[in-house]
Amino acid sequence: MNASTTWHPVCERDALTDRQAVEFTVDDTPGFVMLHRDRLVAYANRCPHLGIELNWMPGRFLDADGDFIQCATHGALFTPDRGHCIAGPCQGDALSPLEVRESRGQILVRVPD
């Protein structure tokens, strides 16, 4: 089966709480899912600056104010809704979004080929 057609369960919906993301690996792609203004968002856990993971604490991706996703290495800031980098060394670049949906209390994601 083609990877782009496969939805993978990554966590229970109840695991997503305020400011707490859930990390996963699907098809060798590390990613994270979180709620932003009650909307599900999911991204590959890869900073466009150096291609390394964004966080250094499990499930912690937001800045101190909880407004932006922040890379722990050089501090780049990304909008949670679209993953656009608005400050930092990769300004103008973006996180790689993953498709995400909820079904029967489960969070499902799929990654592109």
Query: What's the chain's Rg over C-alpha atoms?
Result: 13
Three-state DSSP class for residue 13: helix
Nearer to ligand FES, 85 or 108 (CB): 85
Which one, 15 or 52, has the nearer CB to ligand FES? 52
Closest separation in Å from C-beta 79 to ligand FES: 15
CB of 85 to ligand FES, least distance (A): 8
What distance in Å separates the CA atoms of residue 40 and residue 51, rounded to the nearest whole number? 23
Ramachandran assignment for 92, one of left (phi > 0), alpha (psi -120 to 50 degrees), beta (any other)? left
Q: How far is the CB of 75 from ligand FES (least distance, A)?
A: 6
Our CB check for ligand FES shows the closer of 42 and 69 to be 69
